[in-house]
Chain A
Amino acid sequence: EDQVTQSPEALRLQEGESSSLNCSYTVSGLRGLFWYRQDPGKGPEFLFTLYSAGEEKEKERLKATLTKKESFLHITAPKPEDSATYLCAVLATDSWGKLQFGAGTQVVVTP
């Protein structure tokens, strides 16, 4: 059975304190891995898509990487506006578009 597990569940950072979030997955075949940001009461906001092991994507203070079993979202020198829940989702090769989400990592960045 396909599974997506994110760790840690919650992360509290000081402004400027870099850290990494983990997403480990088990899927029969990976079509793509997606990172989203979700603010309270809002819809997921697309950040990155990764398709193959070794791939990296970067946007401002965020960098996503992918291996055959897991993905990392690195937050470099975070600011308070980076506070959000970060969601990882996988799309399996046998699916038409069913994203399977992890439970998310809630990140709080304090000044």
Chain B
Amino acid sequence: EPEVTQTPSHQVTQMGQEVILRCVPISNHLYFYWYRQILGQKVEFLVSFYNNEISEKSEIFDDQFSVERPDGSNFTLKIRSTKLEDSAMYFCASRSGGEQYFGPGTRLTVT
């Protein structure tokens, strides 16, 4: 069964460093998303992406964040200068119909 994959599973970085989180969505899906979940809190929407452009973003998704679909299979989230408060699980999701399918997540730890 097709699934969303994410790499790495765990990333540790120092405050101020840039990180890139990678996702491979399900192959025939056209809509892509990033969410995050701070430990013990709700899953929060970051951004949606369709037809090579951002279609919606949250207040969390400021100038420090960017997304890209560099080729036909990958979808990336870049954080330019990480802060301690960026520590969270980051989930990629994709959909073709109504429901979004989530990846296993990348745990980002900022020290």
Return the CB mask of A30-73 against B: 1 if under 8 Å, else 0: 00101010000111111001010000000000000000000000
* Contact in complex: B42, A101 (CB < 8 Å): yes
* Contact in complex: A43, B48 (CB < 8 Å): no
Stretch at the interface among B14-22, B50-58, B67-75, B76-84: B50-58
For A103, the chain B residues whose CB sits under 8 A away are: 41-42
* Contact in complex: B103, A96 (CB < 8 Å): no
* Contact in complex: B45, A42 (CB < 8 Å): no
Number of interface residues of B (CB under 8 A): 26
* Contact in complex: A46, B99 (CB < 8 Å): yes
Bound Cα distance A89, B31 (Å)? 17
What is the CB-to-nearest-CB distance from B86 to chain A, in angstroms, rounded to a whole number? Answer: 18
Number of interface residues of A (CB under 8 A): 23
Bound Cα distance A99, B102 (Å)? 12
- Chain A residue nearest to B56 (CB atoms) is A96
For A95, the chain B residues whose CB sits under 8 A away are: 56
Does chain A have a CB within 8 A of B43? yes
Bound Cα distance A102, B56 (Å)? 20
Return the CB mask of B16-52 against A: 1 if under 8 Å, else 0: 0000000000000001010100000111110010100
- Chain A residue nearest to B40 (CB atoms) is A103
What is the CB-to-nearest-CB distance from A48 to chain B, in angstroms, rounded to a whole number? Answer: 9
Bound Cα distance A87, B99 (Å)? 14
For A12, the chain B residues whose CB sits under 8 A away are: none
* Contact in complex: A97, B56 (CB < 8 Å): yes
* Contact in complex: B43, A42 (CB < 8 Å): no
- Chain A residue nearest to B41 (CB atoms) is A103
For A102, the chain B residues whose CB sits under 8 A away are: 42
Q: Which of B35, B42, B43 has the most CB of A within 10 A?
A: B43
Given A43-B91, A44-B91, A101-B42, are A96 and B105 also a contact pair (CB < 8 Å)? Answer: no
B residues sitting closer than 8 Å to A (CB atoms) are 4, 31, 33, 35, 41-45, 48, 50, 55-56, 58, 89, 91, 95, 98-105, 107
A residues sitting closer than 8 Å to B (CB atoms) are 32, 34, 36, 41-46, 49, 51, 87, 89, 95-104
